[in-house]
Structures are given as structure tokens and as C-alpha cells.
Structure 1
Amino acid sequence: MRKIVSETVGILTQDNQFEDWWISDPISIPFLENKTMTITFADFNPDDDVNFITESDKAIKSFLNKKSEDRLELSELAYENCMKFLSVVPYDKADEPLWKIKTKADIWNFIYPTDIYISRRHRRDKDIYINIACECEWEQEHGLQFIFRRGEFLVRVSAQDGHLTEADAYDKDDSQDKLLIKSNNINEYSKAVEVSSRPIKNNNWWRRICIKILKNNN
């Protein structure tokens, strides 16, 4: 089993099931009140993407600078995701605690981070994104994800669907993705019209997450 080294999180061990997954030892995550979690470097072949580790280390450093106060600033978006979901599904008495939330920050009592993935977007900006995958009380089938571009800029709060951005999920131009625009550097690549016509690489990392979940449930 191969191992490589990240300057930020140390030794990465190749997953025994998926050869392009590399997993760190558990580390403390300040953003999640110092919860100890591994970070999975996903969809990564060291021979094909020689800059991935360097760029990922930079993104992880930015992410690890985030504190629990930064997480609480996302309460409104998480709460909106919850309310939007509940408004389109049949009433369930089990959801009463969610409907009775008094302050939006209380939404975090119903969110359970499970995994952290770091991967490269395979079109347009081809930037590095960190995905915090969570289980949540309202969307028990697809869960919840918080995605940060370069580990710094929040670009998506959504159910887990295998896409890093809203633009990718709905096949929109990046200029129509409000949170992605806020991540600052969209103008660097929005001039290149031809990029939007490139085929989207299969979300291999997402398929593998699903496979692991299915195997764990059997």
C-alpha cells in the first residue's frame, strides 16, 4: 500500500479499495469544534496531477484557520436548506423539533459531520475544493454538504449530489452561480467561452462514496 506525504496533515495512506483515494490520519478540525476527523484526498493520481498535494495543502491550511465562529456564520444557509426541504415533503411529526427551532444557530444540533474530502474540480477553474459531508435530521437519504473553494470561500450548501458547485449541478455558467462568484476569482476564467462546452469528467469520487456507504450498510 503506497503512502505519500502532505506538509499540512502528514502521511496519506492509499485507500485499500480505491487507488485514487488517499486518507490522512485523524486531525482536529477547529471549524467543527475540534472534532477529530480524517481528510480524504479524492480522485487523485500522483503521477497525473503533480501540483495537487501542494494546492491541497494550501487549501487545508486556509480551512484549518476557520473557527467554530465561522461555522456559526453559515447557520442561516443551513437553516434555509432545512426549511426548503421540509416545505416540499409531506408533514412528519418526527420533524417537529426542526420546525420549532428558535434560533438559526440551533440548526447545528441536527447536523452531524461524517467525512471531509478534498478534490479538484475537473472543468472551468480546475480549482481545489474541500467538501464537508454531513448527515442531517431532515434529509436522511442524501445528507448535507458544505463546500469551500480553496478551503476558504463557501460555494455550496446542498444535499450530497456529487457536484462541487451549483453551476456544475445545474449545468449553468459559472457567472450564474452566486456563491461561486463571491469566491472572488471567477473573472480569471469566465472569459474563456469554450470551457463551458468541455465534457464534464465523471464524478468518480462521488460514486465511490456511494459504494462505500452501500457496503457498510450490508
Structure 2
Amino acid sequence: MPGIEIVSEPLAVPYFDGVVVDRDIYIDHHQEPSPEQAAQALAAFARLTPADRLADSLHVYNYYRDFHQDVGGEEWLDEEMGVPATPEEIWQHVTPGTVHLVIDPRHPDHVYVVMSANCVWEEEHGLMMIWEDGARLTKVGGYDGHVTNETAYDRPEYKGIVYKANDPALTTRL
């Protein structure tokens, strides 16, 4: 990205059992939170535990289920990854990736911790997980660069939707 310096540093993520990932720091004063904002969001993110991850399982599991329905996954995906019997088993198919912080001009009072992860079921778009102020999971889905579903679709009625599914029965909320 022209004019933006990217610096990576390791970050241990308790939410994922302490796995160490890269934290990319984008030096761009229009998008990067202040050092104080970043420290607060990262401290909140560091307080998330594996129990929080398990509590968030349904959002990621429904992303998998929605994708499975859309692509006829029983024809190839079930063989490739098996069929998770419970929402909590979905995490066996997720590999945490890079974390970065962002301020969205539409939500200037919040710092969003964004993690891009790999997932077996959606290799092209992966899994994007976003925590508002590092504390609350507010968006799950394929990587699209938006911090909320409300802003991704420009639909105020999507406020509070964590995973926006093609199958409305699989949409999840806060």
C-alpha cells in the first residue's frame, strides 16, 4: 500500500489457547488508532479466553453450515473435513491468522480488532472475526474488509448481526 508502512510483531492470543500470530501495524494516521486506543483494545482482546471462543462457536459454525448449503458440501466438503457434530467442533477447522486494529469512520468511537483466519471450508475468502473494542465479537464471515454487517451491507437493520447468512435461519446476532 503506497504511503502506508506495515510493521509486524508477534501477539499471543489467549482466545485461541495462546497461539502466537502476527499483529500487523499499519502506520497510517487516518486509519490507525492512537497508542492509547490500541493498548485498551488489545488489553480487552487479551482477556478473552477459550471459554469465550466456545461461547462464540455458533457464529462460526453457522458460517460453515451456510457455506456448506450454498456449495453442496455433502458432495466434497464432508469428505475433506468431516462433519462437525457440534458447533464447538468447528474450531478444529480454523487456523488463527494475522490480527490488526482499525477505526472505521462510520463507528469512530470504537477500535476493532480484526483477525483473518484460515478455515478448511472456505479457502478463498477465509474467516474474518472482528471484536469491537477488543471485547465483543461483532462480525464473523468471509474476509470483506468491513467491521460490521450493518456497514458491509449499508443496512441499519443489520445492526447486531454477527453472521449474515444467505439462509436467514443461520443468521446470528449478538
- Normalised by the length of structure 2, the TM-score is 0.82
2:35 corresponds to which letter in structure 1? I
Stretches of structure 1 lacking an aligned partner (at least 5 in a row): 1-16, 184-218
Q: Secondary structure at the match of 1:87?
A: helix
CA-atom RMSD in angstroms: 2.5
- Identify the match of residue 104 of structure 1 among 82, 87, 97: 87
- Residues 136-159 of structure 1, C-alpha deviations (whole Å, 9 max, x = no match): 111111001110010011110111
Q: Structure 1 residue 51: deviation in Å?
A: 5.8
Q: How many residue pairs align between the two structures? A: 163
**Which structure exhibits the higher relative contact order, with contacts defined as CA atoms closer than 8 Å and separated by 6 or more residues?**
2
* Unaligned stretches of 5+ residues in structure 2: 163-172
Report the alpha carbon displacement of residue 49 of structure 1 after superposing the two structures with TM.
Answer: 7.3
The offset of 1:43, in angstroms, is 6.3
CA contact (8 A) 1:44 1:119 kept: no
Secondary structure, counterpart of 1:38 in structure 2: strand
* Residues 152-191 of structure 1: pairs in structure 2 closer than 5 A: 152-173=135-156, 176-179=158-161
Question: Helix, strand or coil: the match of 1:142?
Answer: coil
Q: Which AA in structure 1 matches 2:86?
A: T
3-state SS of paired residue (2:131): strand
Is the contact between residue 21 and residue 40 of structure 1 (CA under 8 Å) also seen in structure 2? no
1:90 pairs, out of 53, 72, 75, with 72
1:154–1:179 contact (8 Å) kept in structure 2:
no
Residue 38 of structure 1 deviates from its aligned partner by: 2.0
Change (3 A) 1:66 1:21: farther
Paired residue for 2:55?
73
- The equivalent of 1:58 in structure 2 is 40
User: Among residues 8, 25, 29, which one is paired with 1:41 in the alignment?
Assistant: 25
Q: Which amino acid aligns with 1:168?
A: T
Percentage of matched positions with identical amino acids? 22
Asked if structure 1 preserves the Cα contact closer than 8 Å seen for 2:32 and 2:103, the reply is no
TM-score, length of structure 1 as denominator length? 0.66
Which structure: larger Rg?
A: 1
